[in-house]
Amino acid sequence: MSTQLSRLANGLRVVSHHMPHLETVSLGVWVATGARHEQEDEHGISHLLEHMAFKGTERRSATDIAEEIEAVGGELNAATSLETTAYFARILKGDIGIALDILADILQIPRYAQDELEREREVILQEIAATRDSPDEIAY
């Protein structure tokens, strides 16, 4: 089991760790954007876009995304930190193409419906309020 770092022709860095005894694949895309990269008038935009990730693309509705990944027992998620936003999947290795195609859609052709943006904005405001009530989060 060795970890390898390679670079595609388009400059994309790929880190891989071959584990032949497993039947699943975990893959993710880490984008160098987070709260530390935002200007004052952009505060929260990375988090909002992360929330919008699975709300639909030009090719798939939110329902299509969920049903397609769940039909093969996979899972999708996303997370935002101060430095990065990550979009990731775990799926059976024979179905890796499905996960790659969905992640590519999410990153390359997202659809941001105004009503969904407003809904997710409210969710994030609630998360901020909950964080303010948590001394551990404030200290970090």
Cite the active site residues: 50
Task: Note whether 127 and 112 are within 8 A (CB).
Answer: no
Distance of CA 15 to the CA centre of its chain: 17
Q: What is the spatial distance between Cα 107 and Cα 98, in angstroms, rounded to a whole number?
A: 14
Judge residue 93's burial from the number of C-beta atoms within 10 Å of its C-beta, 0-12 exposed, 13-18 middle, 19 or more buried.
exposed
